[in-house]
Structures are given as C-alpha cells and as structure tokens.
Structure 1
C-alpha cells in the first residue's frame, strides 16, 4: 500500500477539488489524478464521483476516509512513539513481588516509577521468590522483588540488593497482658517463647523464610514447636491475633496494623531479611532499565543498618496504597 497515494486521497477528499488539492500538495493536477486512479484500481473500488462541475466522495470513499485519516495519523506518530519506547517512557512492565515487599519497598518503588513514567502499564503479581525466578527465566516477568535466602541465582540474572530488615516477634496482646509472655526492656527473649506454638509458612511454600526462622531457634538450642502454618503473611498475623501462637516476621510488618497483636523486638542479634530486585541480564527492555534506575534511588533511601528496617521516606499503608491508574495487581498464592 502506497502511503503517498493515501495522503493524496485524504487531501482530495478534504478539498473535493483536484486543482486545489494539487496546489496544497505542491504538484500538478495530472499526476494527482493518476495517483487517485491507481489507488482506486489497487483497492478495486471507486472513491470519488467525478463530473465536469464537481467531485464528491462515494459511500465507499466516505467510509474509508476516517480509517485512512487515522492510519496516516498513526504513521506520522511512529517516530515519536519509537523514541518514547526506546527511552522506556511507554510500554509495559511485568513485576513480581514477595508479600513482605508490599509493606516496605513496593509502595515507594511503584509510586516513583509511576510518577516518572505514567504511560507505562505496570502489571504486578504477588509470588514467592522461587516462582519469580522461574517466571523470569521463562520470560513471564520482567523483574521481581525477591528474598534471596539460601538461593544462588542463575548466572543469566542480575540482582540488586535494596534493603535489609530484622525479624520481630508478633505476639498476642492478651499474652502480654496476662503475663504469659514477659518483656525485658521492651524486647522479648527467644527462650521466653521457646515453649509457645509457632505460626509460620509451610516449608513447601516458602523454604527460605521457613528455614531462617527454624534455624534461628535451633542455633539457640531450641526446637521450635510449630503450631499453625499459613501461606499468607496476613493470615499468619490473624492467627497470632487469635492467640494461636507467636510468629517471627520482618520489621516492616509493623505497618500491618491488626488488633490483638504487638510487634516486639527480639533480644540480642536478630536474623535479618534481605529484599532485592532481580531481572534478566539479556532483557534490553527500556522499561526494565528505568525500573532499575529508580530502584537504586529507592535503595539509597533505605536504612541498611539492620535496625529500623526502612527510613521515613518509605510510605506505610496496605496494598491499596500502591495501586495507580497504570498498575494492575494480580493476586498469587504464596508469600515469600
């Protein structure tokens, strides 16, 4: 299809006069008439009704005019569109995230990214770290926020550590009021909860997170008693609230306000959890490059001391805080 002929068609349709159309196109009338005839022959239709006095569009010509006009506008916009795509200003981004990232890194990361690139469609999917790595390798994700515990990443992946935070104890408020569990200087010792049922992720769903918690108990000479298992962090906190046991959770879970639960620091050296961004080295998608740039900026605002977990620059709020007009969230089953 000759785009030049299509432009001629639109100009003649606007002028309904070959002479004026030729003048607008800076050409003589005979080659313009020949081009229109060639277009009609190519399409096997008659576009104009011609008489000695006037020119009018046929019903077919009238119908095609809007389509051709739109096509030419899109062709004209292609260079700018290509430049925007190359700069990562438009397009799409598929980002996975672990549940805990929803309470620390994810809100700030998405807010900054959406503010800088509002025309990029972001699809968010909550997935465990191992499933994110698998999805990345299969090309089903562009990037992911993962907890890389006990995990050697494939050489085809790049990883950027973003934050570390300590584990806290989530304790039923009633246990503290009744004296079943006591605090020392506002903290709780591991031996104070040694005989209490533990609520945590099943190992089959979150092996890394499960192992760091159970190993922490064992390394302190305590065999943990697993009372309940759940595959969502929110469910774990709900079970604690119901008095079903205690849980060790990342410090950022303080933002998950739940009545009947108190988040208490652990005495001594608490285990820390690292969260970072992972992506494929061979993924040259500009939207991924822009995400990595913003992730580095977000990382610079995070407290890496292992004390407070995140700085005040990271906003609180539940998952709704991260939703923007260009973000679509897909729920997934597993938390780490």
Structure 2
C-alpha cells in the first residue's frame, strides 16, 4: 500500500525535477528521498523518472501517475473539512419520505430552499404512505418522513414536528344535489356513499373518521378505497361517492369536483415530520430548516 507521504515525495520531485530542491521543499535530506522514490518505483514495477548526471525527467509512467497522485493528495487534504461538515449535518445524505397531501402545501418550496442552502446534502425523495414509511424506517432505508394522522397520533418511538393541523372538508361530485350548498349539514352527508383510503395507510385518521360516523349513530357506507388522494378525488368526479379530504387538497382542482366544509365541528387531521431519536446530523439540520421556515 502506497502511503500519502510517499505520494507527496513523488509529487515534489515531479514538480521540481531535481532531488535536491525537492528534498529542501520537503524539509528532509536527499538520500532518504532518493531511497523513497526507488522503493515506490519498485512497488509499482516501473521507473517514474528518467535520470542522468545532469537532469531528471518524468517517465511515461511518472507522467501518468502525477495527476492521480495530486488528486489523491487533494482528497486526503479535504477529509477533515468533509468530516467536520458531516458532523455539522451540512454534508451527507437525507432519505425523505412524504405522503402526497403534503405536496399541496409548502413542501415544494421547503425542499427547493433546502437544496439551495445545503447543496452538499444528497436529498432522496420517496412518496410513501405511513405503512410503507414504517417498513422503510425499520429496514433503515428512510431517515425522515412526512405523514398524515389524527391529532396527537404520531407513531411511538419517533421524534416529531407538527407541520399543520387542518379540518377535513368534503369532496363531492358537482352533479350531486349537495354541491349547490355553500356548507353541508352532517346528517346530509354521512348517509352518502364514501370513497376512502385503506385503513393500513393512515390507521389513526381512518379510525377518527369511523368514530365520527359512530358519534352520529351511523356506519360509513364505503363503496371504494384508493391510496392516493388525487385518485380519491378523481373517483369522486366520476360520481362514485363523496370523500373526506384535508382542506389543503382543495388546491387540487379537478373538473366535476367541488369542495365543501361541514356545518359545525368536522374531523381534523394533522401532518407531521417524524424521525428516529438517533437520527444523523443531516436529519437534524433538515428539521431545523423546516422549523425556521415555518416561523418565517
């Protein structure tokens, strides 16, 4: 194995093309330098210099090795700065999961600013529901994730930052008789066919909606399940049923769909950023970034 010291000695001789001057530059005497270069040539199996009594020149092998040696030395000199940046969380990687609904809010702007402020962090995005994110956390394939849940129902064992809390509204076909109302009475909507997400992708929110129906003495009439909120809204446009969606989804305008609030108290959902308690510095840097932007 070639040591960095030996590479520095080779580069000095290659740049000076004089063993005496190279030895002075390296603050050493000439005989040990000559021996080090000879040993390097022996380990490589080829001469690096063409020597005569009057001159020293690089051989073909020496010319080929010089840029590589300089690059290796430059990388080695940069290692302390890289390590310090990684410790500060300004260099490294961040694997981030997110549910589709967070894209209707500030997430695109937050990510753009994060990439601008932390260009040395490799950011990998993965759209994934809560159940998928939990599996990826368990497999150490995810560092942080945005999830949707019922109020206060963040997964145990994680640190969390609440991003938003919003009432859910009803998405319904513009052909529905209820579509003409500015807001909807609870009894008028709870008896209608329902399009909803599967329980496993957001169990606390699914259970909160189920409890809301039962508080009014009814069971939901589920006619179709879909994972993505955009798909749910598209199914609503087809007249299959109505759907509960976070108020932020109203930014998704789909022909044939209107959004209406409920008269009185409606179910509430929260969006949170979650991460492991032993998270890497890059994760903590991202959390700080989101906190700062939320306050600005």
Contact 1:93 1:120 in 2 (8 A): yes
**1:296 matched residue in structure 2:** 291
Residues 151-176 of structure 1: CA deviation (Å, up to 9, x unaligned): 56333x2122221011011111222x
Residues 130-279 of structure 1 mapped to structure 2, 5 A cutoff: 130-149=131-150, 151=153, 153-155=155-157, 157-175=158-176, 180-181=177-178, 184=181, 186-279=182-275
Distance 2:199 2:3 in 1: 63
**2:93 matched residue in structure 1:** 92
**1:307 matched residue in structure 2:** none
The alignment yields a C-alpha RMSD, in angstroms, of 2.2
**1:50 matched residue in structure 2:** 51
Distance 1:142 1:214, change over 3 A: same
Distance 1:152 1:93, change over 3 A: closer
Distance 1:164 1:9 in 2: 63
Aligned-pair CA distance for 1:147 = 2.4
Residue 171 of structure 1 aligns to a residue whose secondary structure is: strand
Contact 2:149 2:205 in 1 (8 A): no
| Structure 1 portions without partners, runs of 5+ | 302-336
Distance 2:82 2:278 in 1: 23
Identify the match of residue 281 of structure 2 among 286, 309, 320.
Answer: 286
**1:116 matched residue in structure 2:** 117
Normalization by structure 1: what TM-score? 0.80
Contact 1:167 1:250 in 2 (8 A): yes
Ranked by relative contact order (alpha carbons within 8 Å, sequence separation 6 or more), the top structure is 1
Q: Across the two proteins, how many residue pairs are aligned to each other?
A: 294
Q: Which has the higher helix share?
A: 2
**2:103 matched residue in structure 1:** 102
Distance 2:283 2:140 in 1: 13
Distance 1:132 1:194 in 2: 31
Distance 2:286 2:235 in 1: 36
Residues 39-62 of structure 1: CA deviation (Å, up to 9, x unaligned): 223333321121112222222222
| Structure 2 portions without partners, runs of 5+ | none
Distance 1:276 1:210, change over 3 A: same
Distance 1:194 1:289, change over 3 A: closer
Aligned-pair CA distance for 1:204 = 4.2
Residue 35 of structure 1 aligns to a residue whose secondary structure is: helix
Residues 217-269 of structure 1: CA deviation (Å, up to 9, x unaligned): 22122332222221111111111122222111001101112121111111101
Distance 1:161 1:205, change over 3 A: closer
Aligned-pair CA distance for 1:183 = 5.1
Residues 100-157 of structure 1: CA deviation (Å, up to 9, x unaligned): 11212422432332232122111111122233233223321111112243856333x2
Distance 1:133 1:298, change over 3 A: farther
Aligned-pair CA distance for 1:7 = 0.9
Distance 1:194 1:276 in 2: 28
